[in-house]
Amino acid sequence: MKKTLILLVIIVIAFGSCDDGFEEINVNPTKPTQLEPKLKLTYAQLATNGKDGIRYLFGNLIYGHSVVQYISTLWADGVYYTENDSRTSQLFDFMYPTTVKTVVDLVNQLENAEDGPTREVDLAIAKVQKVLIFSRLTDSYGDIPYSEAGKGFIEGTFFPKYDAQQEIYADMLSNLEQAASVLNNGGSSSYGSNDIFFNGDVAKWNKFANSLMLRLAMRMVKVDPSGAQSWATKAINGGVMTSNDDIVYIKYDAIAAKWDIQGNPFIQSIATRANTQVRLAAPFVDAMKNTGDPRLEIWSSLSNGSTDPADQMGMPPGFGTTDVGSLPNTDIHAYSMPNIAVVGTGDNRSNYNQPFILQSYAEVEFMLAEAAELWGLAGGDVQGHYETAVKAAMQHLSLLNNTTPITDTQVNDYLSANPFNASNALEMIGNQYWIAVFPNAVEGWQNWKRTGYPALVPVDSDRGVTGGVIPRRYPYTNAEKLNNAAAVEAASAQMGGDLLTTRMWWDVN
Amino acid sequence: MKNYYFQLITLLMLFFVHSSFAQSITISGVVTEKVSGIPVAGANVTIEGTSTGSVTDFDGNFSIQSDGVKDQLLVISYIGFKTISVTLSGQNQVVDVEMEEDATSLDAVVVTALGIKKEAKALGYSLTNVKGDELADVKTTSAVNALQGRVAGVNVSTSSAGASSSSRVIIRGASSLSGDNQPLYVIDGIPMVNTTKATVGSEDGHFGDGGDDISGISPDDIESVSILKGAAAAALYGSLASNGVIMITTKNAKENTGFGVEYSTSYTVQEYNASLLDFQKTYGQGRSGLKPGYEWVRDTNGNPLSQVEIPGTDAQILDAFNSSLNSWGAELDGSPVYNWQNTYVIDGEVKGKTPYSYSGDNRKKFYDTGSTLINTVALTKGGEGYSYRLSASFLGNNDLMPNSSLDRQSFSFNGKAQINPKLSSTINARYIIDKVHNRVGIGTWPGNANYTALVLPSNIDITGMKPGYIPDGTVLYDGSIPVSGTELKFLPSDFVQNPYWVANKFNNDDTKNRIIASTTLRYDFTDWLYATGRAGIDNYDYFRKQVVPFGTGFASKGTIALTKRSVSLFNTDVMLGINKSITEKIGVNSFVGGSVRRSKVESLNSNGDNFVVIGLEDLANTESQKTSYGYAETQTNSLYGSFEVDYANFVYLTFTGRNDWFSTLSFPGKTTPNNEFYWSISGSVLLHEALELPEAIDFLKLRSSYALVAGGARLPYQLSLDYAILDSHLGNSFGTINGNNIPNPNLVPFQKTEFEVGFDGRFLENRLHVDFAYYANETTNDIVASKASSTSGYTTAVINAGKLENSGIELLIGGTPIRNDDFTWKTSFNMGYNKSEVTQTNETGTGIGIAESRTHTAQIRQEVGDEFGSIYGFSYMRDDSGNIMYDTSNPDLPRPLQGEFKKLGVGVAPYTFGFSNTFNYKNFSLSFLIDGKFGGQVFSGTNSYLYTFGVHKETLKGRENGLEVSGVDENGAPFTGVVRKDLLSQYYSHLNDKIAEEFIRDTDFIKFRELSIGYSLPKDVLKSIFIKDLRLSLIARDLFFIKRDIENIDPEAQLGNTNGQGLERFGLPATRSFGVSLNVKF
């Protein structure tokens, strides 16, 4: 019995405290419990353009660029307005768990942080970044999760509701106003070189906050003219971009692995597809070719590398894989592709570091021209702003590697060959805006929706589901219909449908 | 440190050999089984009333030396047989006896939870024993697959990724909505690791199913498998046992049986079962009804009139290249057409057109005949007070997929020794080396050769794609020169691979080196008080190398991924027990104990992409690399006890209690509990002992039990948010929230209760055996990974919310209808029915998505009121009368409107059955197993894509004159329209994209699972040679279907072994296998 007792004693000692050390065991030794704000900002900025290159390829390139007739891809889908969730869902499904989650967490972190020398500025910048991200989403889909988005942990909201676009706009604008009022006071941020847009330059963020406010204001021109005017006035008074030095673009890296977020996703997707599948669309090539636009040589080449304007030919929109035989010229190598010297081919990564512009000074100047035309704002000099814009648009292409900068002389020659026509100001502005924002198809599409310029001819195809109308938005995604069904249903009722052709709040043109 | 005491206590082991001497007269003989004549090894032979005795050896021989035994009784006994007594003469004597099976053989001792041996009759719950021989008769590459159809209430399925794929074993229904539902595997008393290395999601899979760990156990080493189905049976294993327990006892020699050698070999071939595939062979490659290289001449309305050649050879070739995965062409007419091969000019040879006609079954041409060779040799030795068995087993398999193979070597040692009269010990150790070369892709299309082999148009000969890469000296039709050695593409998409390129150049290899070892020490203080200590480890190192080679379409410079993972599981327990008769009628069998279970997984993953030097598949030879490290540690501590009391050997009552503490539910500052106490009660009554029953009833036991089990989270680190540094960009690191799961700081244990009642009866002198059980279980507070909207920023949320019920019946009817000297027929039928119901998902009743189809039109979901794992998907939109509604906006292409997202089926079949028969005639035997499942469905991704590509027979409709559809239009008005024949592919791919309902299939089947025809050498022949036993069998598995509803695929096809049952897509086709096996004992 003595031995029995000994054994019992051992059991009791061993289990004297039956969960000794358990709290330590369940802390992941490989993961931090918080990050500095700047680490989050870099990721939020990189992911603003998509989770990775492959998502960009499936979503933006195949569908978005085709819809707005920048690209004609042999890879069907977007070119003739089919419903294809695996294309149109990419922007949505992969933005929320990446950039949205990160920026919402960043804002939350800063809002709850103890006050410090940079907190207020850091927060203002984070809010501008957040507006940039959400504006791209709402403009592409309409009513979207906004106020409750990204708050799965913060607020325990697993199934966010979809907010009406009008309310989203109101809140985005008020956020920009608050941010600009902070940024206007100068100060400094903690972001430093982790801010891949502006390297922590508060003055540039202030200009961007106002320029983004101007963009949102102009979106509302048709649906709420007076609101648009008042916000545009506020933005202009606050101080918008004043030169190509103020441009917002994502800096990428040439050593990024294929599809990695550190490489330009537009370049990644074009490079791997260009030889056989991706061609520039005829309207885009013709718009430059017919006007002697020096940008043609920068954006367009044949697959053999020729950038001679005479050789360039865009592919008519509306041709997919099964139509190659019906093309006017059945040799796909006769058609222009995104300049092989600028985008590269195959898995050559040397061009992955091409910048991707999210808002340019040229865009701002075009909007100023429009504001001058509509309301006499910005000094009322429509032509002056227009010409400044054209020049800025041509010359900011010098940001691209492997290009020859466009000279002042080339710009002036172009402007004199294609003189501003005040009686047709809005159309001229709209057409130029469309060329200027390439390859930012998200922006090109929105501005086309708002202004109707350029006058794109819809693809006439039996295969589309839009009845010969160019899509106005992307439908809600299958994943959301599965996982957030009630909210999607409410949203589509609120918006008046969930089709490619359903008009969102501001889309009344 | 306290917990390490157990390890110290239980680590020493010694072998001891006793020998004994005697004198005087010799009594010897042979003990054999009456019906078969097979020697009975290990039978006890004693002289009644003395301690003199022996045990029969391998050949049934015994020999006893004694004196003064005249008129004493020699008693020969063996578990499961009637005891025989022979009066001794007092002289040297030969006593040969034949033993007969005992009708009341349930006196047998079975191994229950924690390795406690109990008399089967005392069990208040159902426990099924499967003999190792049954699993080893027709061997499979994973022994657990052989359980399919053998045990009522056990549902076994596998992913359709070939011999190295993982298995799913579910006992009495799933108990967690989204957690691991597979049982706990215990080998020789020690819990094992069984994880699945990789599963296939909605958009991946070219590296296939990663296999599991249970497959490593050689069937030849298995003595028996006990399936502890109910919670009461398993309660003592605690949280891990909430899904039931499969206890594997490995073989050892019996004491005093001398030296023996066993050898077994089995060789089978696996062939593709062509009878399942039934594709259309009338129309060939092409688009919109055209032959490759042709276009339509249309009228002014766009209606196709006639087809003419596209002008220009290059354009024709390009068209052929572009359409080489579409079977939407014209009727095969044998006319010469271009195909993708004309794109390439190899060594100046310009290939001409090929005939537009059926080229034969591409699957038959592409897949190899697989083969499996299993050799096992074992040495056994049993002496006085010790026994051991050493074995080595070698398995080699070549799968159907060219270049895919599996090699497994396992070495095991089982030893037992009585160190002194009070101290006994066992030691079990096995070392397993598992090597898989090129696991088979499944699910996706990039890098999955099955996909291409299945959807290729019938006029294209797949062998033309050999060897899968571009030979030197190749020029493209347009004069450009492709990089030689890169993928020989047969279509423009980078995401569909040449199947030979995948088979010959992809690399998907893994190796696992594993040690499972355990040791037990038992000390008997008195004849009724004992203590045992046990410690065991299951450790393995796993290394995986996955290479997408340079020149692959979707990764033109290639990628490499290396994974190294170390897994360790340590278990130890100590127990103090009593086994005593308190009075003449009341006995007590009880124990208390404690245990510690610790698990740790560390992994190192390195990925590189873009190879620099072509052909060198090394991590350093890539343009960029990324490395990550993963760590997961969990621990569960437990205290437990069991109290069993019996009265007069006919009433048995057992109580158990256990408290578990979970590290996975512990966190600094947490206020909710991290532990829970739970208990069980079970009892049985032997009616044949208690009452006067009719003579026909030999044995009748009623049993019932109620049990509660609690469990923690299986995964660590789910209680708090953490972050991850993802990478760096231009010199700046960046990061965000780690993962896409919303953590929960308040997680508490889940609970499962189970009630069981049943009976076990033997009738007509043991000719008939009936066992019946009814059970009902319920899981509450289930820890679930609830699907969240991705707009929350996350895709899942871990919550304590699920409730799930299962109830069902299990029936076993077996017997020996014929038994005479030359001929016996044994038969056994078992069936199980499990009804599951999800009763709660979360507070708001929102469903939980488990897995999704690639089309995102179907999802396996847990919805309140439904069965576990119901298949949801988009249906046809219908009006009130059930007519399909059409989108008529394009009059040439009316398409059904997408309707409600609703329940379309159930992924897990509720009915399972097995029917096995064994016939023995003299030295011949024939046995077969038929099994089936009923009541389940699958969303067939294979068939949905076969629609899209025009390969499915259904797509023949409308090829000639367009497809007439009728129903109602958007406004509900009657509508009849015709899909223009050149737009058919759009119509059928619209079904794939939108309408899941179209592809829901019943998975009911009855399969002729196993057949074995054997011949054993007669014992009179054996007597004259050195061989003790020899058996030669012809064996076959998965021979044919007796019933099958689903077209083209195996009704058992599944994407993986996860809870997402009810989805399948592009696995290996169904196979059948034939072979021979030989078992010899020396």
Tens-place pLDDT, residues A161-181: 999 999 999 999 999 999 999
Give B610-628 pLDDT, tens digit per residue: 899 998 999 999 988 889 9
Distance of residue A258 Cα from the nearest chain B Cα, in angstroms: 8
Average pLDDT, chain A: 91
Alpha-carbon dihedral B280, B285, B287, B290, rounded to 10 degrees: -100
Looking at residue B100, its pLDDT comes to 78
- Chain B interface test: which of A322, A354, A481 (most B C-beta within 10 Å): A322
Looking at residue A403, its pLDDT comes to 93
- Chain A interface test: which of B321, B727, B792, B949 (most A C-beta within 10 Å): B792
Which band of pLDDT confidence, cut at 50, 70 and 90, is reported for residue B979? Answer: very high
Looking at residue A274, its pLDDT comes to 61
- Helical H runs in B652-747? 687-690
* Cβ-proximal residues to A263 (8 Å cutoff; 6+ apart), any chain: A53, A252, A253, A254, A256, A257, A349, A352, A353
From the list A23, A32, A38, the residue facing B722 with the nearest CB is: A32
Q: Is the pLDDT of residue B659 over 70?
A: yes
| A272 and B CB contact within 8 Å | yes
Q: What is the 3-state secondary structure (H, E, C) of B893-943?
A: CCEECEEEEEEEEECCCCEEEEEEEEEEECCEEEEEEEEEEECCEEEEHHH
Q: Which of A18-22, A137-141, B1-5, B56-60 shows the lowest mean pLDDT across its residues?
A: B1-5
Cross-strand partners of B519? B427, B535
Q: Tell me how far apart the alpha carbons of residues A473 and A445 are, in angstroms, rounded to a whole number.
A: 9
Give A415-434 pLDDT, tens digit per residue: 999 999 999 999 999 999 99
Give A256-293 pLDDT, tens digit per residue: 777 789 999 999 888 776 666 788 999 999 999 999 99
Give A29-66 pLDDT, tens digit per residue: 999 999 999 999 999 999 998 777 777 877 777 788 88
From the list A16, A26, A43, the residue facing B735 with the nearest CB is: A43
Q: Is the pLDDT of residue B18 over 70?
A: no
Looking at residue B123, its pLDDT comes to 82
| A332 and B CB contact within 8 Å | yes
Query: Considering only CA atoms, which of B359, B280, B200 is closest in space to residue B943?
Result: B280
Upper half-sphere CA count for residue B719 (Cβ side, 13 Å): 29
Looking at residue B16, its pLDDT comes to 30
Give A58-113 pLDDT, tens digit per residue: 777 778 888 999 988 766 555 678 888 888 898 899 899 999 999 999 999 999 99
DSSP letter, residue B240 = G
Looking at residue A14, its pLDDT comes to 54
Asked if A11 and B594 come within 8 Å (Cβ–Cβ), the reply is yes
What CA–CA distances, in Å, run from A474 to A100, A141, A498, A501? 18, 5, 8, 8
Residues B205 and B441 sit within 8 Å (Cβ to Cβ): yes
Looking at residue A325, its pLDDT comes to 56
Tell me if residue A357 falls in helix, strand or coil. Answer: strand
Asked if A465 and B664 come within 8 Å (Cβ–Cβ), the reply is no
Residues B321 and B340 sit within 8 Å (Cβ to Cβ): yes
Which band of pLDDT confidence, cut at 50, 70 and 90, is reported for residue B45? Answer: confident
Alpha-carbon dihedral A248, A253, A257, A259, rounded to 10 degrees: 10
When comparing pLDDT for A186 and B15, which is higher? Answer: A186
Asked, for residue A444, whether it belongs to a domain, the answer is no
Residues A169 and A220 sit within 8 Å (Cβ to Cβ): yes
Residues B90 and B70 sit within 8 Å (Cβ to Cβ): yes
Asked if A39 and B986 come within 8 Å (Cβ–Cβ), the reply is no
Q: Tell me how far apart the alpha carbons of residues B710 and B272 are, in angstroms, rounded to a whole number.
A: 45
DSSP result, A188-222: --S-GGG-TTTTT-HHHHHHHHHHHHHHHHHHTTT
Q: Tell me how far apart the alpha carbons of residues B1080 and B1082 are, in angstroms, rounded to a whole number.
A: 7
B297 to chain A: closest CA residue: A326
Residue range(s) defining the domain that contains residue A73: 34-219+464-509
pLDDT > 70 fraction of chain B, expressed in percent and rounded: 96
- Chain B interface test: which of A31, A138, A304, A465 (most B C-beta within 10 Å): A31
Asked, for residue A44, whether it belongs to a domain, the answer is yes
Q: Tell me how far apart the alpha carbons of residues B306 and A310 are, in angstroms, rounded to a whole number.
A: 37
Asked, for residue A192, whether it belongs to a domain, the answer is yes
Tell me if residue A351 falls in helix, strand or coil. Answer: coil
**In sequence order, what E strands does B299-353 have?**
304-309, 336-337, 344-346
Give B219-251 pLDDT, tens digit per residue: 999 999 999 888 877 777 888 888 999 999 999
* Cβ-proximal residues to B978 (8 Å cutoff; 6+ apart), any chain: B894, B958, B961, B962, B963, B964, B965
Give B162-185 pLDDT, tens digit per residue: 888 999 999 999 999 988 899 999
Residues A345 and A277 sit within 8 Å (Cβ to Cβ): no
* Cβ-proximal residues to B285 (8 Å cutoff; 6+ apart), any chain: B292, B320, B323, B324, B326, B327, B329, B339, B356, B457, B459, B460
* Cβ-proximal residues to B793 (8 Å cutoff; 6+ apart), any chain: A96, A97, A100, A101, A104, A105, A149, A150, A151, A152, A153, B737
What CA–CA distances, in Å, run from A109 to A30, A98, A102, A104, A120? 22, 16, 10, 9, 12
Number of domains in chain A: 1
The residue whose two tokens read 């592809």 is B999
| A143 and B CB contact within 8 Å | no
Q: Is the pLDDT of residue B111 over 50?
A: yes
Sign of the C-alpha dihedral computed for residues A317, A322, A328 and A333 taken in this order:
positive
Distance of residue B717 Cα from the nearest chain A Cα, in angstroms: 6
Asked, for residue A325, whether it belongs to a domain, the answer is no
Give A6-26 pLDDT, tens digit per residue: 555 555 555 556 888 898 999
Tell me if residue B1073 falls in helix, strand or coil. Answer: strand
Q: How many helices (H) and strands (E) does chain B have?
A: 11, 59
Looking at residue A322, its pLDDT comes to 53
Query: Considering only CA atoms, which of B389, B428, B432, B435 is closest in space to residue B410?
Result: B432
Q: Tell me how far apart the alpha carbons of residues A476 and A464 are, in angstroms, rounded to a whole number.
A: 18
Tell me if residue B132 falls in helix, strand or coil. Answer: helix
Q: Tell me how far apart the alpha carbons of residues B870 and B294 are, in angstroms, rounded to a whole number.
A: 46
Give B1045-1059 pLDDT, tens digit per residue: 999 999 999 998 889
pLDDT > 90 fraction of chain B, expressed in percent and rounded: 64
**Residue A367 phi, psi dihedral angles, 5° rounding:** -70, -35
- Chain B interface test: which of A276, A482, A484, A498 (most B C-beta within 10 Å): A482
Burial letters for B949-972: b for 16+ Cβ neighbours within 10 Å, e otherwise? bbbbeebeebbeebbebebbbeee
Q: Is the pLDDT of residue B21 over 70?
A: no
pLDDT > 90 fraction of chain A, expressed in percent and rounded: 73
Query: Considering only CA atoms, which of B1049, B931, B957, B918 is closest in space to residue B134?
Result: B918
Q: Is the pLDDT of residue B331 over 50?
A: yes
Q: Is the pLDDT of residue B984 over 90?
A: yes
Looking at residue B524, its pLDDT comes to 92
Residues of B in contact with A345 (CB under 8 A): none
Looking at residue B346, its pLDDT comes to 85
Q: What is the pTM of this model?
A: 0.85
In this structure, the strands spanning B796-819 and B741-742 are: parallel
Asked, for residue A137, whether it belongs to a domain, the answer is yes
Asked if B859 and A482 come within 8 Å (Cβ–Cβ), the reply is yes
Q: Which of A67-81, B61-75, B671-685 shows the lowest mean pLDDT across its residues?
A: A67-81
Which band of pLDDT confidence, cut at 50, 70 and 90, is reported for residue B44? Answer: confident
Looking at residue A350, its pLDDT comes to 84
Q: Tell me how far apart the alpha carbons of residues B737 and B742 are, in angstroms, rounded to a whole number.
A: 10
Give A236-249 pLDDT, tens digit per residue: 999 999 999 999 99
Looking at residue B746, its pLDDT comes to 93
Looking at residue A320, its pLDDT comes to 63
Residues B76 and B45 sit within 8 Å (Cβ to Cβ): yes
Looking at residue A269, its pLDDT comes to 84
Tell me if residue B502 falls in helix, strand or coil. Answer: helix
From the list B319, B556, B994, the residue facing A324 with the nearest CB is: B319
Give B599-610 pLDDT, tens digit per residue: 999 999 999 988
Residues 645-674 of B with CB under 8 A from A: 659, 661-668, 670, 674
Which band of pLDDT confidence, cut at 50, 70 and 90, is reported for residue B883? Answer: very high
Indicate which CATH number applies to the domain containing A108. 1.25.40.390
- Helical H runs in B406-527? 449-455, 499-505
Q: Which two tokens stand for residue A10?
A: 């051992």
Asked, for residue A115, whether it belongs to a domain, the answer is yes
What CA–CA distances, in Å, run from A492 to A428, A500, B108, B280? 35, 12, 67, 41
Which band of pLDDT confidence, cut at 50, 70 and 90, is reported for residue B17? Answer: very low
Give B439-489 pLDDT, tens digit per residue: 999 988 889 999 999 999 999 999 999 999 999 989 988 788 888 999 999
The residue whose two tokens read 């190792």 is B132
Asked if A83 and B993 come within 8 Å (Cβ–Cβ), the reply is yes
**Residue A480 phi, psi dihedral angles, 5° rounding:** -70, -35
Asked if A96 and B740 come within 8 Å (Cβ–Cβ), the reply is no
Q: Is the pLDDT of residue B695 over 80?
A: yes
Asked if A29 and B631 come within 8 Å (Cβ–Cβ), the reply is yes
Residues 791-810 of B with CB under 8 A from A: 791-795, 797
Asked if B318 and A330 come within 8 Å (Cβ–Cβ), the reply is yes
Tell me if residue A352 falls in helix, strand or coil. Answer: coil
Can you tell me the mean pLDDT for A189-214? Answer: 97
Looking at residue B826, its pLDDT comes to 94
Asked if B737 and A39 come within 8 Å (Cβ–Cβ), the reply is no
B743 to chain A: closest CA residue: A153
Can you tell me the mean pLDDT for B82-103? Answer: 79
Cross-strand partners of B387? B382, B416
Q: Tell me how far apart the alpha carbons of residues B609 and B548 are, in angstroms, rounded to a whole number.
A: 9
Q: Which of A476-485, B51-60, B250-259, B923-932 shows the lowest mean pLDDT across its residues?
A: B51-60
Give B295-320 pLDDT, tens digit per residue: 899 888 888 999 999 888 888 888 89
Looking at residue B13, its pLDDT comes to 31
Task: Provide the 10 A C-beta neighbour count for residue A411.
Answer: 18
Looking at residue A184, its pLDDT comes to 96
Asked, for residue A138, whether it belongs to a domain, the answer is yes
DSSP letter, residue A371 = H
Can you tell me the mean pLDDT for B712-721? Answer: 92
- Helical H runs in B483-639? 499-505
Q: Is the pLDDT of residue A154 over 80?
A: yes
Can you tell me the mean pLDDT for B521-533? Answer: 92
